[in-house]
Amino acid sequence: MSVTGLLPLDRGGHQIRGDMGDMGPKIVFLIRSNPCESHRPAEAIRIAAGLGVGKNPVKILLSGEAPRVLSSEEEDLIDIEIIEKFLPLAEEMGIPFYVDGDSPGQAALKSSPYNFHMIGAEESSELLAGGHYVLVF
């Protein structure tokens, strides 16, 4: 029995892992919940850091108020302990952070200690379309 018969299929019925070699599927985290009102951004960062340990290429796209997690001045974030623990780990593993340039939360990034890429709507669409899996938080 061939291993390729066990690989997941996309909506068109094609195998999504194809010939990626040792690389796993591309995973994009779209985080758009407000981190001052929801635990979801912290959990997304924790999960992304965990998946980034393996062979999975992981990217994080922050939109809406979510870019506030990258600010060093935010103190009223829900589950800030999780964010402070896993955000540096994600960055150390080379997981890139992308910020939607139209997000209201991007105004808080002037003092961010993290590296991030500011992108527009078209680039955000391309980033999301390039993922085998998109997890929305």
User: For residue 128, which of 79, 63, 65, 81 has the smallest C-alpha distance?
Assistant: 63
| 100: nearest Cα among 137, 63, 60, 58 | 63
Burial 19-41, CB ≥16 within 10 A → b, else e = eeeeeebbbbbbbbbbbbebebb
Q: Is the pLDDT of residue 12 over 80?
A: no
The residue-averaged pLDDT of 2-11 equals: 47
Q: Where are the alpha helices (DSSP H) in the chain?
A: 40-52, 80-92, 121-129
Specify the higher pLDDT residue, 98 or 103: 98
- pLDDT interval class at 125 (50, 70, 90): very high
Please tell me the predicted confidence (pLDDT) of residue 22.
58
The answer, as to whether pTM is greater than 0.85, is no
**Model pLDDT, residue 45:** 96
How sure is the predictor about 4, in pLDDT bands with cuts at 50, 70 and 90? very low
Whether pLDDT at 1 is above 50: no
Q: What is the spatial distance between Cα 109 and Cα 99, in angstroms, rounded to a whole number?
A: 10
Confidence class of residue 24 from pLDDT cuts 50, 70 and 90? confident
**CA–CA separation, 78 and 42 (whole Å):** 8
Residues 29-136, CATH architecture: 3-Layer(aba) Sandwich (3.40)
CA gap 137, 15 in Å, rounded:
26
